[in-house]
Amino acid sequence: KQEVTQIPAALSVPEGENLVLNCSFTDSAIYNLQWFRQDPGKGLTSLLLIQSSQREQTSGRLNASLDKSSGRSTLYIAASQPGDSATYLCAVKVIIQGAQKLVFGQGTRLTINP
């Protein structure tokens, strides 16, 4: 059974710092890995998607890496801003019982202090 773990569960840092969020998964047989952002009471916004054959993806101040063999992904946020405060979720796309599904981690609650 695929399990996804995110560490830390919560993180609070001063504005301007670079930070890394971690995601690990137990089964390397994934199709892709997706990082989402969720603001309180809102839906999920897709940040980055890394295909299983890729090693990293970049979008602005965000960089996501994938090491499928070791079952790890990281989300790097450069020069953090208070607007980055949100919960960050990683999810892996797998085939379970013939159907494609996203398996989510529990999320990291990020607070950027001005």
Chain residues binding other proteins by CB under 8 A are 31-32, 34, 36, 41-46, 49, 51, 89, 91, 93, 99-102, 104-107
| Cβ-contact 74, 49 below 8 angstroms | no
Q: Pairing mode, if any, of strands 56-59 and 44-51?
A: unpaired
Least distance to other proteins from the beta carbon of 16, Å?
28
Residue with Cβ nearer other proteins (71 or 107): 107
Q: Pairing mode, if any, of strands 86-96 and 99-104?
A: antiparallel
Least distance to other proteins from the beta carbon of 70, Å?
21
**Paired residues of 32 in beta bridges:** 51, 93
Least distance to other proteins from the beta carbon of 45, Å?
7
